[in-house]
């Protein structure tokens, strides 16, 4: 061998070897070989209020069976019905088991194009609350697709909605905002997107290429929090920014009238257990337990495992298309934190006895 022909080195060969693999991503289901302790909590350590769920399609009796089995004291049903149907939904759950369900109203945009809409909206909200609604939810269509009579996109902080938020303060019920979506939904659906499979299953969830940015949408929402300090707001899904808990912490410190729920965000929180645990300890009086998933025993148990145990690397509770290819770690929250997050914070907002 001449001097300038590099010699093959067994170690360098080993560490540089690569293969181009052909395997359909949807056929790839690796199973973890880790042998680590497992604490599958069957019931929560304290009674639970699920502050974020959607029960319109459920039979109250089967939901109650799951609740009793899993130690869930109450579920807040965020109805997606409006008008007469919303009132019927409130009634249906009140009748099924008084004290075990509460209902949030859903913003009715159907007559936005007709004059007097903003006034009617306040009246409708008052009517919902008079019939027992415990809050009103504004969804991500506000700011992204709802247009006024002039065809102009309605920003989340449109001044014409101010009387609605003031009415909430007067009635003593919160407004819940689901504004925007995960960061990855604003990026191209490409091999670098960490939620590729989820977006492939729901391409309509992608906001990539929109003329509005996530940052701008959240800024609009946060301006509403600032303008209505007497109104209680729930920023759903960890304020839609669980990817950046520093931002959420800052939000909670800036606006004492804001709570966050953890609905459908165990995946995000559980993949950053050190940061998430500190966040829960620091803001334990501002975080609401919520699931945003079909009530099933296994789904609740995964939540309890996530919040209570120090289990490592297990599947997060999720809808069928999953949220990303990772697993989560338990937060082993102390009792006083669990009590607040599971129940006491929600009880305060719902004006139930602690
Ligand atoms: Zn929801």
Report the separation in Å between the CA atom of 13 and the middle of ligand 1, taken as the mean of its atom positions: 51
Strands of 175-177's sheet in order across: 48-53, 72-78, 101-106, 133-138, 175-177, 233-235, 258-261, 287-288
Per-residue pLDDT reduced to its tens digit, 245-275: 999 999 999 999 999 999 999 999 999 999 9
pLDDT band at 141 (very low <50, low <70, confident <90, very high): very high
Which of 41, 51, 39, 40 lies closest to 341 in space, CA to CA? 51
Rounded to the nearest whole angstrom, what is the distance from the C-alpha of residue 19 to the centroid of ligand 1? 42
Cα three-residue angle 87-174-344, rounded to 5 degrees:
105
pLDDT band for 112, please (50, 70, 90 cuts).
very high
Q: Distance between CA 25 and CA 9 in Å, rounded?
A: 34
Give the Cα separation of 343 and 153 in Å (integer). Answer: 38
* Interval between CA 290 and ligand 1 midpoint (Å): 9
Compute the average pLDDT of residues 131-149: 96
Quote the distance between the C-alpha of residue 347 and its chain's center: 19
Mean pLDDT of all residues in 21-43: 92
How far away, in angstroms, is 336 Cα from ligand 1 center? 27
What was the pLDDT predicted at 3? 61
* Burial of residue 296, with CB atoms counted within 10 A of its CB: 0-12 exposed, 13-18 middle, 19 or more buried: middle
Residue 40's pLDDT is what?
Answer: 75
Ligand 1 midpoint to CA 255 (Å): 22
H helices within the chain, ranges in order?
A: 10-16, 60-70, 83-96, 117-130, 162-171, 196-201, 214-227, 236-239, 245-254, 266-270, 273-282, 297-308, 335-339, 345-350
Distance 53 CA to ligand 1 centre (A): 6
Give me ligand 1 centre to Cα 173, in Å.
18
Please classify residue 262 by burial: count the beta carbons closer than 10 Å to its beta carbon, then call 0-12 exposed, 13-18 middle and 19+ buried.
buried
Cα(51) to centroid of ligand 1, in Å?
10
Q: How far is the CA of 12 from the centre of ligand 1 (A)?
A: 51
Instruction: Please say if the pLDDT value at position 144 is more than 80.
Output: yes
Task: Supply the pLDDT for residue 41.
Answer: 77
Whole-number Å distance, alpha carbon 52 to ligand 1 midpoint, is: 6
Average pLDDT over residues 289-298: 98
- Report the share of the chain in percent with pLDDT over 70: 99
* Distances, alpha carbon 324 to alpha carbons 71, 182, 191, in Å: 29, 11, 12
Cα torsion 57, 59, 64, 65: sign: negative
Residue 102's closest CA among 122, 72, 126, 68?
Answer: 72
Q: Is the model's pLDDT at 155 over the cut of 60?
A: yes
The pLDDT value recorded for residue 99 is 95
CA distance 274 to 307: 13
Report the separation in Å between the CA atom of 287 and the middle of ligand 1, taken as the mean of its atom positions. Answer: 16
Task: Give the CA distances from residue 88 to residues 74, 160, 190, 194, 213, in Å, rounded to whole numbers and listed in that order.
Answer: 19, 28, 44, 41, 37
In the prediction, which pLDDT does 42 show? 84
What average pLDDT is seen over the chain? 96
Confidence of residue 2 (pLDDT cuts 50, 70, 90): low
pLDDT at residue 352 tops 70: yes
Query: What integer pLDDT is reported at residue 7 of this predicted model?
Result: 84
Q: pLDDT at position 221, please? A: 98
Half-sphere exposure of 12 (CA within 13 A, CB side): 4
78 alpha carbon – ligand 1 mean position (Å):
7
pLDDT of residue 167: 98
d(CA 184, CA 324): 10
φ, ψ for residue 315, nearest 5 deg:
-70, 140
Q: Residue 154 above 60 pLDDT?
A: yes
Strands 258-261 and 133-138: unpaired
**Contact predicate 311/330, CB 8 Å:** yes
pLDDT mean over 27-41: 92
Q: How far is the CA of 291 from the centre of ligand 1 (A)?
A: 8
Mean pLDDT of 198-208: 96
Residue 351: how many CB atoms within 10 A of its CB?
Answer: 9
pLDDT of residue 193 exceeding 90, the answer is: yes
* Tokens describing residue 149: 């009579």
Distance in Å, CA 192 to ligand 1 centroid? 27
């Amino acid at each position: 061998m001449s001097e300038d022909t590099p010699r093959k080195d067994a170690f360098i060969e080993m560490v540089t070897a690569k293969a181009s693999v052909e395997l359909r991503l949807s056929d790839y289901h690796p199973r973890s070989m880790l042998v680590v302790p497992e604490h599958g909590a069957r019931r929560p350590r304290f009674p639970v209020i699920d502050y974020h769920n959607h029960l319109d399609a459920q039979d109250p009796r089967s939901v109650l069976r799951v609740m009793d089995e899993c130690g869930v004291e109450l579920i807040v049903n965020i109805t997606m019905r409006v008008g007469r149907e919303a009132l019927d939904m409130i009634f249906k759950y009140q009748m099924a088991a008084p004290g075990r369900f509460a209902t949030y109203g859903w913003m009715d945009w159907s007559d936005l194009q007709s004059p007097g809409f903003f006034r009617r909206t306040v009246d409708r909200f008052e009517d919902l609350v008079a019939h027992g609604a415990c809050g009103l939810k504004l969804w991500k269509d506000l700011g992204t697709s709802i247009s006024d009579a002039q065809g102009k996109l309605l920003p989340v902080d449109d001044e014409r909605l101010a009387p609605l938020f003031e009415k909430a303060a007067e009635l003593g019920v919160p407004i819940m905002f689901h504004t925007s979506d995960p960061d990855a939904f604003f990026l191209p659906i490409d091999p670098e997107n960490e939620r590729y499979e989820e977006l492939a299953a729901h391409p309509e969830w992608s906001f990539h290429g929109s003329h509005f940015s996530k940052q701008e949408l959240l800024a609009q929402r946060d301006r509403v929090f600032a303008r209505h300090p007497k109104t209680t707001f729930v920023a759903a899904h960890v304020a839609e920014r669980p990817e950046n808990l520093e931002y959420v912490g800052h939000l909670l410190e800036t606006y004492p009238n804001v709570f966050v729920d953890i609905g459908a965000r165990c995946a995000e929180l559980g993949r950053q257990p050190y940061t998430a645990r500190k966040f829960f300890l620091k803001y334990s009086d501002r975080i609401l337990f919520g699931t945003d998933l079909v009530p099933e025993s296994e789904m609740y148990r995964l939540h309890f495992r996530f919040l209570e145990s120090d289990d490592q690397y297990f599947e997060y509770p999720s809808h069928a298309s999953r949220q990303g290819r990772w697993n989560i770690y338990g937060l082993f929250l102390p009792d006083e934190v669990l009590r607040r997050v599971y129940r006491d914070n929600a009880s305060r907002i719902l004006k139930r006895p602690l």
